[in-house]
Amino acid sequence: MLKSAKLTTTTGYTWKTSISATASYESTIEYFLGKYFAVGIYPIENLEKVVKVEIFDGKTMVVSEL
């Protein structure tokens, strides 16, 4: 079963992304939380820090915040 993650940045910008069904909650949180990602619409993109990760697998939701 495919998992998804909802990511929230310091400015409140959010997006959802699919993650591997074999990825652990811990590795997913480690990959995203506290890291910077380019967000926005080209040509105006900003690097923003992810401060909240919500992981959904169809039954469970795991939330981690800075």
**Residues 31-58 pLDDT 10s:** 999 999 999 888 989 999 999 999 998 8
Res 2: pLDDT: 82
Tell how many helices (H) and how many strands (E) occur in the chain.
Answer: 1, 5
pTM: 0.88
Res 15: pLDDT: 95
Query: Above 80 in pLDDT, residue 1?
Result: no
Domain ranges of the chain: 3-65
Res 58: pLDDT: 85
C-alpha 55 chain-centroid distance: 8
Segment 15-31, tens digit of pLDDT: 999 999 899 999 999 99
